[in-house]
Every structure is written in structure tokens, then in C-alpha cells.
Chains A and B, each alone.
Chain A
Amino acid sequence: MVNKKIIILLILLFTLPGCSGSNSNSPSSNSSESQIYIENKGSDTIVNLALAWAEEYQNIHPNISLSVTGGGSGTGIAALINNTVDIANASRSIKDKEIENANENNVEPLEFVIARDAIAVIINPENPVEKLSLQQISDIYSGKFTNWSEVGGEDRPIVRLSRETNSGTHVYFLEQVLRLGDKENPTFFSPLTLLLPSSEGIISEVSQNPNAIGYDGLGYITDEVKVVGVSQVGSTEYIYPSVATVNSGEYPIARDLYMYTNGQPVGEIEEYLNWIFSEAAQEIVAELGFVPIIK
């Protein structure tokens, strides 16, 4: 009988510490001396930027631990709705439906625009096509064009690459490029569009497949792929994505990047967000190929 009691005691000893501290709404801190954890999750577009910020911020404030994970904007916002993250990253603004769901869980999403991003349309360097109009890109992705010769290229089939549907980039591209910003427009991605789970997957396929067309945030573009010039509807001027063309509003496929918190942030989270808007943090934005916000 004594044995049994000891075993139960041991089990309790080992399992109890695991239960404490989980599921807390705010960064957990036992005393001012101990580590403070901030959970940051969401958009894969933002994840590199958020990581760079987190590293820099942890250098300045060694008592703060930032945990940054990707997964897609939808994933981050879902986590915010379920109140399992402190800051959610999103490359699209939160949907009305999601705000409703959040309110049902007593979560009040608060939006911060933390940087801007251009989405570059990319092709294989072997592909002779240099520029495309928004309409042409829309027709390629909707399945109207199936051969590169229809947009001035070689006689090759077009392989369309896109991010998965939980990606903010996917939703943005659907609304602003395929549907040309028109909410009533019923255009869809062609079912033949390959939905790849990561930005790197798109770069890797485009860099080795001369049939492929893809899109990715400017921060992800490498030398292995070719960026095409894009023209607005009704314009014949082809613009390449860059910090200058995004800030001037010339490049047509550019968007804001967001962070969401549950209600007005306080304490360490507030300090972190304030730091993100500082000049030092926005310099990191430019270094990673995103567009800094001008205050």
C-alpha cells in the first residue's frame, strides 16, 4: 500500500509543473527578474521580418523571449481568436466574420500596420516574357490563358503556382489581381493552380521550371527567379516592384502588413509594438526587402 502512495505522489510531482502557466492571456511573468514570453504567430510573409525584429529586440531586452512562428495569416488570426497568441501577424486585414468570431470569444482584435509589402510576379529566368498587364495575370491564373505564347512567350504550357488558401497573400492576390479589386467579379483561381504550402516552395519550383509563374512577397525574391514588370489596368507603363514604386503608389500589387493584438496592448507587448515603429526597427524592414512605413 505504501508503494501505491509513493507512485501517486511521484506522478503528481512530475505532472503538476506541466499544468501551470499554460493558457494565460498575457505574457506570463513571475517576478520582474524572470523571463517574459511573448507569443507571435501568423503570416508566412511576415515571419522572417518578425524573426529579425524578435532577435534584435531580445538583444536590447535580454529578459524578453519572443517566440515567432508562421503558418499563414489565417492561422495567426485563428490563434488570436482562440486567445493562444499575444500578437498575430497577418498579410491581409482581418475579415468581418473573424472579428465576429473573436468577439464571441471575448477577444477584441486591434490592428497595427507595421510595414508594407509588394507582391512580385515571378517567372523562370529562361522565360523570355518581361512584362504582363494585371489583366493578363488575371487571365493566366483564372485559366483563360494556358500557353505562354498567348502572352508573348514561347510555346510552353503555363504552370500556375499559388500559396495555400490559408495564406493572406493568396486572398490578397485573388481579390486585387484575379478580380482586379472588383468585389462583384466572380473570377476564381483555375483548379489546375498548384497550391504550395510555403513561399520557399514557390521560389524553388519557379527557379527550376521554365513553365512556371508564381507570386511572392518582395522579401522572398532571390536572384534565381525573374521578376516581371506589371502594368495597371488601362496603362501601358510597366512598373517593377521596389521600395520607391510601392511608396509612390505606382506598383499595383502592394499591400499593408498587419499585427493584431487582443485589445489595447499593455506592458511588454506595448513596448515591443512601440519599438517596431521606431526608426531602428523600420530599417530592418528595408533590409529584408519590405517597404518601411513612413510616419
Chain B
Amino acid sequence: MERKEAFQTFLITTFIRISGYSTIFFVGMILVFILGQGLPALKEVELSSLFSTRWYPIEGFFGILPLIGGSIVVTIGATLIAVPFGIGTAIYISEIAPRWARELLKPLVEVLAGLPSVVLGFIGIVSLSPFIREFFNLPTGLSALTGSLLLGAIAIPTIVSVAEDALDSVPKEYRDGAFALGATKWQTIWTVTLPAAKSGVLTAIMLGIARSIGETMTVMMVTGNAPVLPTGLEAIVSPIRTMTATIAAEMGEVANGGSHYAVLFFIAIVLFLISLVINIAASAVVFRETKRSEKILS
């Protein structure tokens, strides 16, 4: 009996250990792979050409700046929409909503999270883009704004569920303490609950941003994919082309190696680096927060 249990424990811990290490292993392998495929781009295409503003790969123009700019514009737009709505919804569900509304809202948000992005893209093409064009009197509704709105809709469920969990895990005593001191409900949320859940809420925002910068199908369908370097405020309502849409649209054509293939992987490296920077920034902020709270407690 004892031997059997020991063996089971061994089996389970081995399995869990392998699962844990495999994550590191896979990320490492992905990094090695895209570096191996993408770095030759630096050799095959001159740096001045790679960081120029013209993207027309079938004639040998590999300027990736418009693509980076396009991704940044839609992501900022999506963040500006998703963060207030997402955090607001999370606060409502966790702090304000009556029990029945809460039971209804939570599964609905999860349904929204499960919507395939191609469906949102389709809605974007058929109804949102014509509406944006008429409402803002634009030449075309296929623009960064349409992409941002839809990406916001994609990021909101992620932000809501993670932030709501964080708010939910704040001990009830904190709120009771605030109420006992005569704070209103709003004051309690703003000065006690939200700061106490800060690291979880920040994680939610970072995950939302990462979700929007990596999203492909929707942006490919609704942003017009014109590789123009965004300059100035009007870029928000102009067509743009993102890095993800470029990789998705063009990778099929270049399966046979060559400089275009390498440049597409180079774009993947840039995308990877941007995600990495966002993650490092997020964990740095979260880390600093815990240190400060420790100081208060001690």
C-alpha cells in the first residue's frame, strides 16, 4: 500500500514539475525559433531600409516602421477604451451590483470573452465600419478607430475577470473598517478596495494590453491594412496596418525562405520584444507595490 502511494505521489509531482518546466521550455524554444528565422533579415535587408517607412514587400520595400506604428496606435486606442470600461465593470460586479445582477453579469462577461475574434471582425465590417464612416464623416470606416473599438471589446472581458477576482479577494474587514470610519461607498472603493487590489488590477490591464497588441483577425478585417506611418492625431481615424495582420496576411506567400520570410519573422521578434517590455514593466510595478505595502504592515 505504502509503496503504491509513494509511486502515485512521485508520478503526480513529476507530472506537475514537467508541466511547469515545459512552459519555460516552450517559451525558450519559440524565442530560439523566431530569432533563428528572423535575425537573418538584418543581414539580407539593410538597416536603413528595414527602418524606413515604405512597406511593399513584393517589390523589395521592407520598411517596418508603419507596421510598428499601426500596432501601437490601435493598442493605445484599445487600452483607452478597455481600461476604464473594464475596471468600471469589475468594480460594479464586485462592489456595487446586487446579488442577482452579479450572478447574471459574470457568466455574460465570460461569454463575451469566448466570442471568436473573426465574429467581431465580421460585425465590424458589416455594421461598425459604415457607422464610423458616416458618424465622423470619414473617407472610409476601415480605420484604426474601428480596430481600437473592437479590440477594446476583446480586451474588456480579460480585464474584467482578472480585476474582479483581485477586488473580490480584498478582505471584507478592509471595507468594514472604512465604513466604520464614516467613508462613503465611493470613498471606500477609491481609497481602500482599489489600492488594496492594485497589483491584481494592474495585471488585468497588462493582460488586456497584451491581448490587444497580439490580436490578428479582427484588425486584419477592419483596419484597412494600409501601411502608412501614423503621424499626428488624425492617424486614429485613418487606415493603418498592424504587425500581426502583416504576418498573417503575408506568411502564406513566403513559405520558401528568402528576405521577405526573414523580415516577417523579424516583425515577430519586434512583437515579442514589445510584449516582453510590457510584461517586465508590469511585474516591476507590481513588485514595487508589494514592497511598499510590506513597509506599511511592518
Binding site for B on A (CB under 8 A): 71-72, 74-75, 78-79, 81-82, 98, 101, 156-159, 164-166, 171, 188-189, 191-197, 201, 204-205, 208-209, 211-212
**CB–CB A191/B54 < 8 A:** yes
Given contacts A78-B254, A78-B255, A189-B56, contact A194 B142 (CB under 8 A): yes
A74: chain B residues at CB < 8 Å are 252-254
**CB–CB B227/A72 < 8 A:** no
Q: Does B221 contact A (CB under 8 A)?
A: yes
> Which of A78, A164, A212 has most B Cβ within 10 Å?
A164
Cα-based distance from A188 to B228 in the complex (angstroms): 14
7 closest cross-chain pairs (CB), A and B:
A74-B253, A166-B253, A75-B252, A194-B224, A78-B255, A157-B139, A195-B225
Cα-based distance from A206 to B135 in the complex (angstroms): 18
Flag B55-66 by CB within 8 Å of A: 1 or 0 each: 111110000001
Cα-based distance from A136 to B66 in the complex (angstroms): 28
B129: chain A residues at CB < 8 Å are 205
Binding site for A on B (CB under 8 A): 54-59, 66, 125-126, 129-130, 133, 139-142, 220-221, 224-228, 239, 241, 249-250, 252-256
Given contacts A157-B139, A191-B226, A194-B226, contact A165 B255 (CB under 8 A): no
**CB–CB B139/A159 < 8 A:** yes
Cα-based distance from A204 to B56 in the complex (angstroms): 25
Given contacts A194-B225, A195-B241, contact A164 B255 (CB under 8 A): no
A211: chain B residues at CB < 8 Å are 139-140
B141: chain A residues at CB < 8 Å are 209
A-B contacts besides A74-B252, A166-B249, A194-B224, 13 pairs, CB < 8 Å: A74-B253, A78-B253, A159-B139, A165-B250, A165-B253, A188-B56, A189-B56, A191-B55, A191-B56, A192-B239, A193-B226, A195-B241, A204-B126
A158: chain B residues at CB < 8 Å are 139
B249: chain A residues at CB < 8 Å are 164-166, 195, 197
**CB–CB B239/A194 < 8 A:** yes
A196: chain B residues at CB < 8 Å are 142, 224-225
Cα-based distance from A193 to B225 in the complex (angstroms): 8
Task: Output the least CB separation between B106 and chain A (Å).
Answer: 35
Given contacts A208-B130, A209-B140, contact A72 B252 (CB under 8 A): yes
Given contacts A205-B142, A209-B141, contact A192 B130 (CB under 8 A): no
B56: chain A residues at CB < 8 Å are 165, 188-189, 191
Given contacts A159-B139, A159-B140, A165-B57, contact A192 B228 (CB under 8 A): yes
B255: chain A residues at CB < 8 Å are 78-79, 81-82
Q: Closest residue to A158 on the B side, CB-wise? A: B139
The one of B225, B226, B252 in contact with A71, judged by C-beta atoms closer than 8 angstroms, is B252
Q: Closest residue to A208 on the B side, CB-wise? A: B130
Q: Closest residue to A186 on the B side, CB-wise? A: B59
**CB–CB A82/B126 < 8 A:** no
The one of B54, B66, B125, B140 in contact with A204, judged by C-beta atoms closer than 8 angstroms, is B125
